[in-house]
């Protein structure tokens, strides 16, 4: 069955059509071509023509012209629109015409680096020129590193390797830094939050070293569609950036469908599991030979859906999983299978959302709203490369954000993509990179590193014995090598290894888990799922950062609960109105895993519990909070008030991302019946990143809009007393939670304008 036949088939299935809240048919789009640049090297023109490229898409030509004028540029076009040529053309042209010129390519993942290396090799081999192109990352053999440092014309790396493996050893890279003409930053939209804030500081260090060696490279960035590509790229590189967003690439027709699972408990407002519904739809596609990718929102859901699909024993079909934690050779094997067509279906986290070439897929299923409009389009765009018709289906979960999206499709299709927020001057991140920069090159008096207070920070580090001051310069004096202690992607670089001990003759590492996921993922007796297989954690060596597992055959998975405590450290701003007070400031959040649930496959019912005994994890961040000035304790019991606050907290943390334009996982919430700081019943929403990235401040600016939307949404929710789509399930928030949450919201918004 081809995709056109599948479309007709779905339209005739009553149990499918009845669940559709919106079906958008997106028409195909013709290409907009322009001639190749006249000044392009004749050797490059000939190779392009041999590959049947005698014209460029208009955005490729515009980007080439801007870069040729020396402008930093960001190209913002959809998936599979030829962004790679926007930077490969000027780079190869420069190297062909000016021997000795160098370029540095940076991708957020190793998979993308390997993918781009393959594409570059094809062009360079066809050119038959001695342009040496290498990947330099953690997998690069030690024996090859010296050759790469000395002779690499194009060096492909990732932010982590640049941070820890290249910049601290810049004296070994003199030829690169002296002759660096271009720096390529692909997938710019992925540099957001704490990761993006770190990377912006890595680039500050990179530019500082370039200046030392006398080079002034041009930045060429590429991004999926976001609302602020110029602002983000400019913050990332610390310079003005020209935006190129006139997409001239063709695209095939696409059907984008919003699917809402049926209600299985009307009183509680509970819908059938979106995981099971996604699996059911994937079954239909795969059985009919439609090559399909299923995107999930977590590693656990990836393994659960993969297990379900493999249980069905689909004949002659190869179905694989893909997520962080798989070992490099596993990931490369899966990527190759997708490109050459030997894999029929893949279940993935957003790890395959970025631009790795995964061949020609016909359908994408989004198991739950990915959290942002930008990510949704990225995932949908992984199916339907070329001019063939494709189909994408968003299967909603019961949570408030998913339900808001599938029941307000005009918001999704008319709203611009999200802002990507970073805060390079987050003090904790900034100080970390000033340490690294001082190790790389001494700071001079008056030299700024992003902020005017650089001298004060340097003096502080001198007082701590980390730097020493002599003759107008600050020199590194500590014994430790600073970059190794700083992880760009999490608050800690301490990953835990997962070791399979099932076969004593073949004990092996099967995966890795980051520090902050350890308490919920690999606690003792947890079920760890890898490649669809279940393993039980037999021992967690917390100090040694190792989890020992053995294969298990059980009909459940584990889901851990976190107990959160929050303490206010500093108040940044405050608004007092009527019966409420809005505040925003610095907090410390302490989280501890206390227990886990055993959740049965397929039915998802709880079949048991267990305790978790692990240390607390602490995080300093920023938060917004609402304290209720009215004495609500007189109107309701302490327990009812607690449930109402919990309901309000659940509702706000799901509605806020609509206005923040962020992933729901970027924020979190907690409540306090009588906050030690405010002395009142208080709801907190905090940035889920160490140091914060500006989300709490943004909530402070639009809090009334968020509260009004929450009130409107709650009034419309069809459940009786509360459900996962609004205030939370009744068994967690109590029978009166919806009623009391509605009352709190009305009181808080009394006298305020709507909207």
Dist CA 616 CA 590 (whole Å): 6
Same domain as 63, residue 145 = yes
Residue 355's pLDDT is 64
Q: Is the dihedral of CA 138, 140, 145, 151 positive or negative?
A: negative
pLDDT of residue 540: 95
Q: Which of 210, 244, 278 is the last residue of a domain?
A: 244
Q: How far is CA 573 from CA 188, 514, 676, 697, in A?
A: 32, 34, 18, 9
Percentage helix, strand, coil for the chain under 3-state DSSP, each rounded to 5: 40, 25, 35
Evaluate if residue 158 carries a pLDDT over 80: yes
Total of domains in the chain: 5
User: Has residue 554 got a pLDDT over 50?
Assistant: yes
Q: Tell me what pLDDT residue 149 has.
A: 92
Q: Calculate what percentage of the chain has a pLDDT beyond 70.
A: 95
Query: Minimal CA–CA distance to 179: which of 219, 220, 158, 210?
Result: 210
The answer as to whether 371 is a domain residue is yes
Q: Which is more confidently placed, 121 or 587?
A: 587
333-388 residue pLDDT tens: 888 888 888 999 999 988 787 766 676 789 999 999 988 888 899 899 888 867 88
How far, in Å, CA of 721 to CA of 719, rounded?
6
Q: Please compute Rg for the chain using Cα positions.
A: 27
Tens of pLDDT, residue by residue over 635-658, are: 888 999 999 999 999 999 988 988
Residue 514 has pLDDT above 80, yes or no: no
Beta strand pairing status for 180-185 and 508-513? Answer: unpaired
Contact in structure between 682 and 626 (CB atoms under 8 Å)? yes
The answer to whether 33 and 58 are in contact (CB under 8 A) is: yes
Give a yes or no: residue 610 inside a domain.
no
Q: Are residues 137 and 210 in the same domain?
A: yes
Rounded Cα gap, residues 561 and 595, in angstroms: 6
What is the average pLDDT value for the chain, to the nearest integer? 89
Average pLDDT of the residues in 527-536: 85
80 and 116, same structural domain? yes
pTM score of the predicted model: 0.80
Arithmetic mean of pLDDT, 518-540: 89
> Which of 244, 259, 290 finishes a domain?
244
Nearest to 643 by CA among 747, 730, 749, 746: 730
Inside any domain, residue 606:
no
pLDDT at position 231: 93
Do residues 100 and 130 lie in contact, with contact meaning Cβ atoms separated by under 8 Å? Answer: no
pLDDT at 570 over 90: yes
280 and 311 together in one domain: yes
Confidence of residue 491 (pLDDT cuts 50, 70, 90): very low
> Has residue 54 been placed in a domain?
yes
Does the residue 339 lie in any domain?
yes
The reply to whether 269 and 402 lie within a common domain is: yes
The residues near 69 (Cβ < 8 Å, ≥ 6 apart) are none
Mean pLDDT, rounded, for 530-555: 90
**360 falls within a domain:** yes
Quick: pLDDT tens for 695-742: 899 899 889 989 998 998 899 888 888 887 888 877 778 888 999 999
Residue 545, pLDDT above cutoff 50:
yes
Taking residue 598's Cβ as centre, other Cβ atoms within 10 Å add up to: 18
> Do 375 and 405 reside in the same domain of the chain?
yes
Domain assignment present for residue 407? The answer is yes
pLDDT digits (tens, 9 = 90+) for 56-66: 999 999 999 99
Assign 450 to helix, strand or coil. coil
CB atoms within 10 A of CB 631: 10
Contact by Cβ (8 Å): 454, 462: no
Residues 53 and 9 in one domain: no
Q: Is residue 421 part of a domain?
A: no
For residue 736, the Cα-to-chain-centroid distance in whole angstroms is 36
Whether residue 204 sits in one domain with residue 257:
no
Token pair, residue 30, equals 């013709």
Last residue of a domain, one of 485, 507, 526: 485
Domain residue limits at 512: 496-554
Of the two residues 370 and 216, the one the predictor is more confident about is 216
Please answer whether residues 362 and 383 qualify as being in contact, where contact means their C-beta atoms are separated by less than 8 angstroms: yes
Report which of 111, 95, 355 is spatially closest to residue 223, judged by C-alpha positions.
355
Question: Do 21 and 148 fall within a single domain?
Answer: no
- In degrees, rounded to 5, the angle at the alpha carbon of residue 33 between the alpha carbons of residues 98 and 247 is 90
305 and 272 assigned to the same domain: yes
The band of 602, judged by pLDDT with boundaries at 50, 70 and 90, is: low
Do 522 and 656 lie in a common domain? no
Q: Are residues 156 and 291 in the same domain?
A: no
Q: What is the mean pLDDT of residues 144-152?
A: 90
Residues in the chain: 755
Distance CA 117, CA 133 (A): 8
Q: What is the CATH number of the domain that holds 371?
A: 3.40.50.300
Nearest to 619, CA basis, from 561, 562, 704, 537: 562
Does residue 443 carry a pLDDT above 90? yes
What confidence tens digit (pLDDT) does each residue in 61-115 have?
999 999 999 999 999 998 878 899 999 999 999 999 999 999 999 998 776 777 7
Residue-level pLDDT at 62:
97
Predicted confidence at residue 617, as pLDDT, reads 82
Regarding predicted confidence, which is higher, 142 or 25? 25
What residues form DSSP beta bridges with 658? none
């Amino acid at each position: 069955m081809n995709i056109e036949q599948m479309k007709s088939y779905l339209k005739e299935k009553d149990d499918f059509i009845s669940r559709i809240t919106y079906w958008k048919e997106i028409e195909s789009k013709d290409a907009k071509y322009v001639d190749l640049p006249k000044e392009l090297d004749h050797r490059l023109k000939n190779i392009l023509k041999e590959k049947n490229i005698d014209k460029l898409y208009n955005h490729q030509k515009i980007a080439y012209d801007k870069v040729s004028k020396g402008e930093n540029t960001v190209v913002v076009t959809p998936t599979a629109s030829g962004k790679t040529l926007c930077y490969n053309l000027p780079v190869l042209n420069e190297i062909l015409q000016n021997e000795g010129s160098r370029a540095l390519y940076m991708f957020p993942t190793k998979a993308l680096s390997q993918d781009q290396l393959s594409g570059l090799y094809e062009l360079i081999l066809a050119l038959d020129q001695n342009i040496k192109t290498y990947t330099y990352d953690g997998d690069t053999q030690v024996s090859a590193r010296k050759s790469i440092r000395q002779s690499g014309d194009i060096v492909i790396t990732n932010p982590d390797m640049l941070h820890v493996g290249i910049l601290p050893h810049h004296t070994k890279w003199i030829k690169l830094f002296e002759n660096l003409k271009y720096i390529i930053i692909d997938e710019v939209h992925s540099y957001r939050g704490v990761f993006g804030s770190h990377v912006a500081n890595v680039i500050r260090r990179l530019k500082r070293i370039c200046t030392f060696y006398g080079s002034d490279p041009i930045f060429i960035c590429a991004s999926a569609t976001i609302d602020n590509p110029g602002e983000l790229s400019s913050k990332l590189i610390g310079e003005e950036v020209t935006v190129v967003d006139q997409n001239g690439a063709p695209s095939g027709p696409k059907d984008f469908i919003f699917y809402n699972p049926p209600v299985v408990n009307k009183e509680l407002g509970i819908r059938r599991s979106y995981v099971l519904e996604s699996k059911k739809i994937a079954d239909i596609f795969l059985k009919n030979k439609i090559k399909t990718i299923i995107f999930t929102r977590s590693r656990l859901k990836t393994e659960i859906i993969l297990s379900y699909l493999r249980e069905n024993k689909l004949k002659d079909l190869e179905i694989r999983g893909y997520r962080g934690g798989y070992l490099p050779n596993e990931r490369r094997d899966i990527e190759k299978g997708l490109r050459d067509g030997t894999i029929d279906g893949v279940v993935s986290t957003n790890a395959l959302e970025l631009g790795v070439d995964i061949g020609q897929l016909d359908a994408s299923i989004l198991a739950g709203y990915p959290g942002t409009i930008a990510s949704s389009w990225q995932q949908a765009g992984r199916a339907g490369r070329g001019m063939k018709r494709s189909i994408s289906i968003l299967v909603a979960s019961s949570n408030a954000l998913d339900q808001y999206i599938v029941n307000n499709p005009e918001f999704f299709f008319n709203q611009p993509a999200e802002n990507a927020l970073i805060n390079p001057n987050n003090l904790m991140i900034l100080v970390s990179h000033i340490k690294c920069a001082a190790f790389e090159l001494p700071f001079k008096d008056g030299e700024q590193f992003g902020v005017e207070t650089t001298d004060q920070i340097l003096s502080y580090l001198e007082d701590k014995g980390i730097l020493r001051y002599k003759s107008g310069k600050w020199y590194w004096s500590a014994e430790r090598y600073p970059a190794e202690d700083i992880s760009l992607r999490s608050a800690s670089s301490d990953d835990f290894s997962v070791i399979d001990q099932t076969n004593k003759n073949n004990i092996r590492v099967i995966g890795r888990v980051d520090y902050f996921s350890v308490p919920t993922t690999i606690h003792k007796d947890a079920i760890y799922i890898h490649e669809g297989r279940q393993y039980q954690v037999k021992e967690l060596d917390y100090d040694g950062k190792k989890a020992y597992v053995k294969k298990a055959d059980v009909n459940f998975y584990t889901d851990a609960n976190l107990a959160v405590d929050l303490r206010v450290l500093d108040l940044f701003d405050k608004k007092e109105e009527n019966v409420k007070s809005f505040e925003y400031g610095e907090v410390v959040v302490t989280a501890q895993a206390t227990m886990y649930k055993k959740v049965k496959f397929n039915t998802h019912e709880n079949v048991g519990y267990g305790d978790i005994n692990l240390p607390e994890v602490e995080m300093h961040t920023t938060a917004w909070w609402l304290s209720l000035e009215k004495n609500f304790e007189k109107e309701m019991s302490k327990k009812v008030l607690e449930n109402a606050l919990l309901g309000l907290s659940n509702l706000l943390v799901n509605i806020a991302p609509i206005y923040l334009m962020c992933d729901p996982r970027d924020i979190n919430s907690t409540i306090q019946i009588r906050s030690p700081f405010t002395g009142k019943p208080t709801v907190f929403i905090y940035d889920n990143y160490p140091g914060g990235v500006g989300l709490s401040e943004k909530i402070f600016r639009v809090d009334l809009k968020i509260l009004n939307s929450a009130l409107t949404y709650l009034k419309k929710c069809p459940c009786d007393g509360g459900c996962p789509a609004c205030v939370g399930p009744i068994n967690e928030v109590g029978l009166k939670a919806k009623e009391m949450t509605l009352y709190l919201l009305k009181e808080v918004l009394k006298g305020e304008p709507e909207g």
